[in-house]
Structure formats: C-alpha cells, structure tokens
Amino acid sequence: MSLKSYLQARFCPQPQQETAAGVNAGDVFQMVYGRLPDQSELDMLNGWSSSLSPQDHLGLFRTAINAFDHQKSGTAFTVRFAKDDMQYMVFPGFEVALDNKDVSVSVQLLGGGYEQHLFKFFNQTLKPGMVFMDIGANIGFYSMFAASKVGADGKVISFEPNTENCRLILLGMHRNKFQNIALYPFALGDRTGYALFSTHIGSNGGLIADTEAMLLNPNCTIVPIIPLDNLITEKVDVIKIDVEGAEGLVVSGAKGLLEKHRPIVASEFSLEMLSRVSGMSGRDYLQYFQDQRYDIYICDRQTQELIAIKSVEAFIDDYGEHTRIEDLAFIPR
C-alpha cells in the first residue's frame, strides 16, 4: 500500500485537497498534528510543498513538521535531515550548510532577505583578530560569516542547544575548513543545571517553562544550561544574542564578562518574550546596559542604520505592541 493510500484509509477517508506533490496535504497534517488543518494551514502547507517532486512524500512530511509553530501545534514527530535534505549556500568568503525543508532561517537565506540590517552591522564591526560570540547560533550563518571576518588570528565561540542546528554548524565548519570556531551544544542562562527546550518553526527554538504540562509536550527536550561566567574567562570583543526571550537569563549569567571586557553586544529584544522566558522586564534589561555605560541603538531593518535610543523610559513607553521584536546594539562608551 502506498503512503498516500495508507494515510487516507487510516486517518481521512473523505477526499481532501492534494498538494502539487500528489499527496493529500490534509492527511499528512492530520497524521503529524492529530487534527484536521484549517484552510490557512492547508494553504500554507500547499505553498511550502509546491516545489516538491511528485514522489517526495517524505519531503512533504518533513515540510509539515517544520512549517508550523510547535508551541501552538504540538507533534510527537521530529525532523532530522539526511544528505539529500541539505545543501551549501555560497557567500563571499564562506559557505553555510542549509536544511532544504527549514522554513525559517534557510528559506530566508535562499531568498536573499535574511537580517540584512544585522549583516551590515557585523560586517562593519568585526575585524581580523577579534573574538566573536554567537549565542543562539541557529544553523551557523553568523558563526561562519564571523569566522571569515576575524580570520585565523581571531576566534568564534558558538552556543546552540538544537542538535540538528549543531550538525549544520559542524558541516559548515568542515566545508569551510574553519579551525577558529568553538561550538558548545547547550544553552546559556543564569544557573547551572538543565532547561526545557522546544523547537518553534523550522530551525528556530527556545527555552520553555519548567512545568509538568511542558514536560508532557512531545516537542520538549532537556538541554544542559550554564552561566557564561562559569565557562568563558577570555576577552570577547563582540557578542550576538538571539535566544527567543532568554536574553535576560544569558545576560544575568554573563555580568562578570560583560563588566570586565565590555564587548559590543547585538541582541534581539521583545517585551513579551523577555517577560515570558526570562521573567525580566524590557525596561530592566535595557537599564542594566545603560548602568554599565553602554549607548543603546536600534538596528533599523528598513534603513539598515543605527538609531540612538536616548531615553530608556521613553523607548519603553512608546514601544507599542508588546509582541514587537527589534534588534538592538549596545556599544560601550
């Protein structure tokens, strides 16, 4: 029996819309998530899978698992890539290993629109011989880019708790023959122990609440967590932090390094995620850097320029939507 016939007989005997790949998208979605998709979810799955060949049934499964937020739609299925699922994307001076079914970072890189404002910032900031720290390295784009910029006399220190992302980082290191990247496959925080981690969409993921309900979530994995100050004592010049709201925990566990070496820091910033994951207000997060005599800037997505935040109070008061996400630069005076 074909995969299509099995799924239709087992889960959805009623006819449903088929994707361009020739497999019933509703069947696949129901098998992965245990419920029928709504029309927007079906349209999304059809869109993401439209480039698949008619025989690539496994590809459709991988796409269905990757394409939806596991915080909202839990599934007992996980995704691992094989040789045929990945490719290398060439950039000036380096290459990045991509998962073809990753609908978050990989697809943005392939489309040429991935965080160009941050790329410009790091391109202007990183110099040969520097030490760059990539906290929340994802698939390793910034780690590979930074390794090419700081050169053999510099160093890149990467942290990433998602093991599939770590595989892509290591493949990128092999492909580029980089000897200046140190990869740590765990999370950073304000304590030593364990943390609950879940994938979100594609290669994105983050820490989740340590509760019985989350432990029963099939997307939950247990990862080691450690304060940065317990691990790294060497001088660091530039730090990138993008950890889906755990930025406050990372900074709380890295105050010794930050206050001693005063690196340039680029950080994702979200009032909602900081409060939910780190238990910290956005005001307190920014105030720490201001107290340490850092100037704070928005890395503007539209102009790709730095816009100074002259008043933390005014910035927070006028922030608008609680779920708004910005990228900030903290530059020591």
pLDDT tens column, 7-24: 555 555 444 455 444 568
d(CA 226, CA 186): 8
Between 19-33, 116-130, 184-198, the lowest mean confidence (pLDDT) is in 19-33
Q: Which architecture characterizes domain 106-332 according to CATH?
A: 3-Layer(aba) Sandwich (3.40)
Q: Within 13 Å, how many C-alpha atoms sit on residue 2's CB side?
A: 10
> Do 330 and 258 form a contact (C-beta atoms < 8 A)?
no
8-state DSSP, 296: E
pLDDT tens column, 274-323: 999 999 999 999 999 999 999 999 999 999 999 999 999 999 999 999 99
- 302: its two tokens: 């539209």
Domain boundaries, the chain: 21-70, 106-332
- The pTM (predicted TM-score) of the whole model is 0.90
